[in-house]
Structure 1
Amino acid sequence: MECDWVEGIPAAVRIGAIEGTAFGIETADRHSFFTFAPERYGARIIDDHAPLIGPETGERRISVEMAEGAWNATVGSAVSPRRLAFRASLTTLSPSLFQDFVLRAVFSAGSFAEAEIGGERFGHEGRDIYHQHPVRSARLSGQHGTLTVRVTEAATGPWFEQVLYVRDSPEGWVVHARLLPKAPYAQLWIRWFNRFFRLSLPDAASHALLALPGVGRALWYAAERGGAGALQLQASGLAGVPEGETLTLAMELDFDHV
């Protein structure tokens, strides 16, 4: 496996004709979104350094201030001929709200022909639908070989459940090992995002709307379920994590290439 390293994180991997194009972590609250990609907003990196940068292992350590919290994270990676192991831990520096916490891997659309997860099987049509299940494994396959994804560790605390999804995004095959808030939620949140504005309702207004008959079921993660053509309006829960708590996710990506 060939691996390009950037600041302690794999920027791209290649094994035969299979191409991984992005790796990292993501998290969000109501008013900010953290990612290593350019789409980050409302999140300020206070400290960022890489004690290890390849060729077989990497590590990146960051401190981030969000709109509704602050945290430290350590992201570690290990590359072998047929496996990429990826692990991240996040420790809160203040009481913090979270929409989720994600380990992210992206592969080119041409790397695989289909994905299997939670009993579903589907091809890449660029629909951007979240095929999400409370499982620990998924498989992508095609003429160039197969990828088996396994979530090997998930420290959720009482605030989250571990899920895994595969998404046929226009950018490629997106795989997220994800910690998703579970009831009882610290806050309920309705948001509407588009290219013109970002509307985020406060907790009380979200509660009132979701109490109306049929509204909660219709809006609950509606944008994720609807895909690329859906109105980007949805409701979700937020987890409230106290200061000094640690969340952890780890996954292994095993390749069998032709």
Structure 2
Amino acid sequence: MTDLIEYDWECDWEHGVPAAIRCGGIRGTDFGIETADRHSFFTLAPERHGARITEDRALTNGPGSGERRLTVDMAEGRWSTVITSSLHKRGLALSASLTTLSPSLFQDFVVRAVFSSDSFTAASIGGEHFQHTGSNIYHQHPVRHATLSGPSGKLDIQVTESVPGQAFEQVLYVRDAPEGWVVHARLIPKMPYALLWVRWFNRFARISLPGWASRILLSVPGLKSRLWYAAERGGRNVLQLQASGLARLDAGEHVALAMEMTLGDAL
């Protein structure tokens, strides 16, 4: 359904989550959550693999707010989530919580938003300032604030809530991906990691090394620092080979993130 309501934004709602928002020359094209383990990846977008939704309820579906509740089985865990969205006069608030239903491994947990590349001309985060070149580099920092700006307006992005638990730390990144400006409020594992993980993704296959092999490979002097989040740091033109840590949560543990995006005056 599409609703033009009393706010400045036009919003398309899909099963309790904004599918797209528009205001003047600014277009938000994708909203939701993401998470992964070594063998499966969950997103609300079609790219999901190895993850199965076993329960899915939209409790509210616009015009001013939405709420969606899901239960998901993944290769290395099972969890439930509640995603809530609230449209206001100048923007959108998006939040999600995750509760484990079994012992589970996580690469990260993300609340995400995507805006078209022509919505803004520049981004600022953590002292970095850059334009959209399609590099797909993760400009990631342990901060709660970033901005996207251009002739149509300035979008202030604020992480308003972070519940990382004992296993995660909160970061925020902006990525100039081919599909647009990608913004992720993100929980990533912190030391001590439950496991070390080396993976290689390409268009033909996804290769994930077992824990013992990852440990041996990363014990080679100098190799861990070169591979640590290397694909994210290198962008679209690097070999999609990288190492990272994994977090393990016991059943009944809880994490959460909330992000608010507010439109200001044009430059």
The 1-side partners of 2:150 and 2:227 are apart by: 35
- Deviations 1:103-147 (CA, angstroms, capped at 9, x unpaired): 000000000000000000000000000000000000010111100
Matched, 1:229 2:241: no
The 1-side partners of 2:265 and 2:110 are apart by: 26
1:127 to 122, 125, 135: 135
SS in structure 1 opposite 2:118?
Answer: helix
The 2-side partners of 1:173 and 1:57 are apart by: 23
Cα root mean square deviation, aligned: 0.6
Give the equivalent residue in structure 2 for 1:118.
Answer: 126
Give the equivalent residue in structure 1 for 2:77.
Answer: 69
Matched, 1:81 2:89: yes
1:37 to 30, 36, 45: 45
- Deviations 1:191-240 (CA, angstroms, capped at 9, x unpaired): 00101111110111111111111100010000000000010000000000
The 2-side partners of 1:27 and 1:159 are apart by: 15
Post-superposition offset of 1:257? 4.7
Give the equivalent residue in structure 2 for 1:197.
Answer: 205
2:252 to 241, 244, 247: 244
Is 1:222–1:235's contact at 8 Å kept on the other side of the alignment? yes
User: What 5-or-longer segments of structure 1 have no aligned partner?
Assistant: none
Question: Any residues of structure 2 matched to 1:44-63 within 5 Å, and which?
Answer: 44-63=52-71
Q: Which TM-score applies when normalising by structure 2?
A: 0.96
Q: Which TM-score applies when normalising by structure 1?
A: 0.99
Give the equivalent residue in structure 1 for 2:100.
Answer: 92
Q: 1:77 is aligned with what amino acid?
A: S
- Deviations 1:18-71 (CA, angstroms, capped at 9, x unpaired): 000000000000000000001000000000010100000100000000000000
Is 1:15–1:257's contact at 8 Å kept on the other side of the alignment? no
Identity between Structure 1 and Structure 2 (%):
64
Give the equivalent residue in structure 1 for 2:227.
Answer: 219
The 1-side partners of 2:238 and 2:157 are apart by: 28
| Runs of 4+ in structure 1 over 3 Å off | none
